[in-house]
Chain A
Amino acid sequence: MQEHHAYISLDTSSRSVGADALAAQLQATAVQKPVTLTLTRTGTRGLFWLEPLVEFATPEGRVAFGPLDPLGTDEIVQLFTDAGELNVSHARYLGPVDELEALQRQTRITYSRVGIIDPFSLDDYVAHDGFAGLRAALTMQGNDIIDAIADSGLRGRGGAAFPTGIKMRTVAAQADKQKYIVCNADEGDSGTFADRVIMEGDPFLLIEGMTIAAVACGASQGYIYLRSEYPQAIDIMNRAIEMAIAQGYLGQNVLDSGHAFDIEVRKAAGAYICGEETSLLESLEGKRGMVRYKPPLPAIEGLFGKPTLVNNVVSLVTIPDIIRLGATQYQQHGVERSRGTLSIQLAGNVKRGGLYEIPFGLTVRELVEDIGGGTATGKPVKAVQAGGPLGAFLHPSQFDTPIDYEAFAAIGAMVGHGGFVVFDETADMGEMARFSMEFCAIESCGKCTPCRIGAVRGTEVIDKIRNGENADANRILLRDLCTTMVDGSLCALGGMAPFPVLSVLDHFEDEL
């Protein structure tokens, strides 16, 4: 009998392409062969083109096989030799996981545990440096914690890129007794899944990050506003919170420090606008997700009128490592004013789509061609949409732009939440521009006119241009409308939805 320890991802994306069927087949195979199998379900390595993937522990580290056909019984039976040993001459044998080029090119800090640990095991988390950041934070003054985060150069990873340390300092400076930590897990941008991957693969990290933020800011209640499209992430976070409470990491007396902190998961309800922080707060208060005027800033008057730190999942999960490793170590990665690593999500029509944690500074071309391997269809790349549905479509002539906040802003693009969606030459850019306006019309909260009416009119004008009705005059009208929306909208939805439209007008002029 050969003993084997196998690891298969339970991540939604892995399951969506057959990880569960693979797990079942593998267990059935173990019964047929002289194999004693232990199976652990982990988060994902983020190498989605290799899923469904199985890894096995060996004395030299884990080795992997993938992508496997979960219904291809023979392929799975052949993972083991007749003697029950791993079949390293298998056509899908990938070799040692750590030596995979796609992982070697990364600097995994925030995602260092995802794909390795069992997300339901608090012991596993602790054995991999888990809660070391919180334990260190509990020995520090709140101001020192915030200084470390400010020194690290961390900027909000949700999309707005506001310095996280400054926001925390504002909340901490408020005298109110009741303060809140709100985690924005309403990851609605198309092409993004970094929040989900972390919540499904390393849920205690989010709990730890929120708890450190709470200690630093003096908050006692946290909420995770988590989208309804992520049922498994909701389930995993809820289970992790229960375990953390049972072990004293959350509750009235966090690790006997005297700090009280609780976290509640609140399920969102399918409104894209609720990813905007003030709309999110309205929704948490049980109202329509209508955007608020700013000021007052949520850091001063946020949830239920109290000082509230609203941060994206990725910003919060970066905090434990900054505290554990020190600001300098995190800060040394990246370029210019974009410090640390970015969790890039490469998706759409691309050969090697997945999650890549990489220091800022890589160019779009390196990302799409070297890392992504070009399009899945093998056709030339026509455009890359960066930063979600409100981000510009980048033309190949712009692909040498380094991925950093300022370099992107200089070409009218945005890094946003780090999503990059690749399109091949068959994409109809006029249709994509229309979709941007249509999406804005569907998702507008309706509070301000430029967004509510502008998006509807924008869709109509684009239809006219595409039908050849007064095309030249309507192009001028469309640009005018875009300017009105950019300048006059209350929040980023109406204020940025024109960017993809303008990028099509500027760079794909034959198509709109």
Chain B
Amino acid sequence: MKKIPTASIEETTGRILDELADLPGGLLPILHRLQEEFAYIPAEAVAIIAHRLQLSRAEVHGVISFYHFFRTTPPGRRTLYVCRAEACQAMGGKRIEEHLRATLDVDWHGTTADQSFTLEPVYCLGNCACAPSVMLDEQVIGRVSTARIDALIKLAGSE
């Protein structure tokens, strides 16, 4: 993955802060916007946010690391979230988990060597009556089978 120029990070972070720094308790919205822009939260942004919000860098880092959704490294082109919660387990979700980890040859939170997929566990997509479920970026897919997963990976990987 190409490195994002520091100037671009500074400019974008500054722009987001201009808009959101005064929002009460606005750190999560700020981090979400950054992640929408860059697909992760670049380390360079932390000091800028901390300075503007009058927090320590440790505090900002502490918030980023607390939440599963925020990432500090670039993900693959597509992120595949796999539901590991009980309703999916009741419908054979474990097989989907194992199949995906083997097929993509990555563990949880890992990114495939060709940068096409990042695999993330998720604990409930709220699609429990159509289990087992996965979410590809923001698209939830229900009643998945290993065959459907293979087709999905083939299709999404070629896009």
Contacts and interface: CB of A to CB of B under 8 A. Distances in A.
Given A191-B128, A348-B128, A439-B123, A269 B68 contact: yes
B91 A349 contact: yes
A272 interface: yes
Contacts of A304: 24-25
B27 A287 contact: yes
B67 A269 contact: yes
B63 to A, nearest CB: 6
A229 B86 contact: no
Chain A interface bracket (under 10, 10 to 19, 20 to 34, 35 or more) = 35 or more
A276 interface: no
A13 B129 contact: yes
A465 interface: no
- In the complex, which of the residues B63, B122, B127 has the most CB atoms of chain A within 10 Å of its own CB atom? B127
B31 interface: yes
B128 to A, nearest CB: 3
B24 to A, nearest CB: 6
A283 B29 CA distance: 11
Given A229-B122, A272-B123, A190 B85 contact: yes
A170 interface: no
Contacts of B85: 190-191, 389, 439
A17 B29 CA distance: 31
A432 B89 contact: yes
Chain B binding surface SS class: mixed
B63 A286 contact: yes
B66 A289 contact: yes
B76 to A, nearest CB: 18
Contacts of B78: none
B156 interface: no
B67 A270 contact: yes
Interface string A343-362: 00111111001110000000
Contact of A432 (B31, B86, B127, B128): B86
- In the complex, which of the residues A49, A283, A424 has the most CB atoms of chain B within 10 Å of its own CB atom? A283
Interface in B1-55: 24-29, 31-32, 53
B131 A348 contact: yes
A48 B142 CA distance: 11
Contact of B123 (A353, A423, A424, A443): A443
A285 B24 CA distance: 7
Interface of B: 24-29, 31-32, 53, 62-63, 66-70, 81, 85-91, 122-131, 133, 135, 138-143
30 contacts: A13-B126, A13-B129, A16-B130, A16-B133, A16-B142, A187-B126, A190-B88, A190-B123, A193-B128, A193-B129, A196-B126, A267-B29, A267-B32, A269-B70, A270-B68, A270-B122, A271-B68, A283-B28, A284-B28, A287-B27, A304-B25, A345-B129, A346-B129, A348-B131, A353-B130, A385-B86, A389-B85, A389-B123, A435-B86, A439-B85
Nearest 3 CB-CB pairings of A with B:
A286-B27, A353-B129, A190-B85
